[in-house]
Amino acid sequence: MSATAQTPKAAPRGSTASRARATRLLGDRRLPVLVTAALFIAMYVGGLSRYQNYGFGEPQVFLNLFIDNGYLLVAAIGATFVIMSGGIDLSVGSVIGFTTMFTAWMVERQGLPLLLVVPLALAVGAFGGFLMGYVIHNFEIQPFIVTLAGLFLFRGLCLVISKESISINDASVGTLAQTRVSLGVGDLSIGAVVALVVLAVAAYVLHYTRFGRRVYAIGGNEQSALLMGLPLGGTKIAVYTVSGFCSALAGLLFMLYIQSGDPLHAVGMELDAIAAVVIGGTLLTGGSGYVLGTLFGVLVLGLIKSVITFEGTLSSWWTKIATGVLLCAFILIQRTMTARRKT
């Protein structure tokens, strides 16, 4: 499936060099990421020219994209692993909501130190993901249904803990939430820094380790991966565990960002995460994509929100419509590209 081998077929008339270059670019796996990055830059430049006088150009506005969407980035990275392996995880939003609720309850109502609650929350999220992966692999039930059950379960557990939201007044949480890391031109919150670290780790794991290659292989063709002797079950279960862990971590970041636990936190965020992954150019059938694309997907979604805030007259539902339109555009781009590759 290498892009270069496909090039002659993609340009059957074997015409000029520029055409060949164009077809090579169209066959390039990196194209979706490049398109998303270009779109992000175009949107940013557009915003600059339109809201120059309102301070859009300040570096802090750019850094705020990371501060305001750190949790989404972490959740989307988890979703990237699952989607890369050809699966899907619908429980993301619920696990995030559950984690905010769980930590708030543990810290505020039980008086446990944050240092103890954080690993516990991460462990619960990872274990939830592990269980889902176990059921998906061992009983051959569709990921869609199993993670749907996970969605119900974790949202239900949120409500079992408490029907009302719990605000967090704990000193250590407050300190953490207030801490800023200065970058000279502006500053980042702890949540944004954690998100960037997760991004770096995920990029390393997916692109430079044996585990990462297995995820790509299973997503590309499960039967072939099995015939090659790859540990199918272990990898699949691990992928859902990673997603569960990332969701829980995203929940912690969200808790820091919003400083409360609420049973209705992050409802439907799995869709935002999936949308970010798709807009980032990862193939939904699995086997192709980059974590960096997910970063740009999240940034584009975040930028839509900032632009709507700056515009002032646009209402929040335009976020949904714009996300849908972008989603549609990128799915169609992906589709035409994969169609080209096959011909």
Partner 1 sequence: MTTTSRWRALTHHHLFWPVAVLIALLLVNVPFTPDFFSINMTDGHLYGSLVSIVLFGSPLILVAVGMTLVIATGGIDLSVGAVVAITGALTCSYISDQTDQNTLSAVFLAMGIGLVAAVVCGLWNGFLVARMGIQPIIATLIIMVAGRGVAQLITDGQIITVNSEPYKLIGGGYWLTLPFSVFVVAAVVAVTVALTRRTALGLLVESVGGNAEASRLVGIRSTRIKIMVYMFCALCAGIAGLMISSNTSAADGNNAGLWIELDAILAVVIGGTSLLGGRFSIGGTVVGALVIQTLTTTIYTIGVPTQTNLVFKAAVVIVVCLLQSPKFRAKVFGAKGPKGPRRDATPVEPAPAADAAPKMEVSR
Residue ranges binding partner 1 (CB under 8 A): 88, 135, 138-142, 144-146, 148-153, 155-157, 159-160, 163, 221-223, 263, 271, 274-275, 278, 284-285, 315-321, 323-325, 327-328, 331-332, 335, 339, 342-343
Nearer to partner 1, 173 or 283 (CB): 283
If the CB atoms of residues 53 and 164 are measured against partner 1, the closer one turns out to be 164
Tell me the DSSP string of 79-144. Answer: HHHHHHTT-----HHHHHHHHHHHHHIIIIIS---HHHHHHHHHHHHHHHHHHHHHHHHHS---HH
Least distance from C-beta 164 to partner 1, angstroms?
11
Taking the chain, what is the end-to-end CA distance rounded to the nearest angstrom? 12
And the tokens for 223?
A: 């039967």
Between 23 and 334, name the residue whose CB sits nearer to partner 1.
Answer: 334
CB closer to partner 1, 291 vs 327: 327
Q: Which is nearer to partner 1, 46 or 156 (CB)?
A: 156
Angstrom distance (rounded) from CA 304 to CA 292: 19
Per the document, the length of the chain is 343
Residue 159 Cβ, how far from partner 1 at the closest point, in Å? 3
Q: How far is the CB of 11 from partner 1 (least distance, A)?
A: 17
Residue whose C-alpha is closest to residue 225's, from 2, 144, 235: 235
CB of 63 to partner 1, least distance (A): 27
Phi, psi of 259 (to 5 degrees): 50, 40
Shortest distance, CB of residue 327 to partner 1, whole angstroms? 5
Can you list the alpha helix ranges (DSSP code H) found in 179-221? 190-208, 210-220
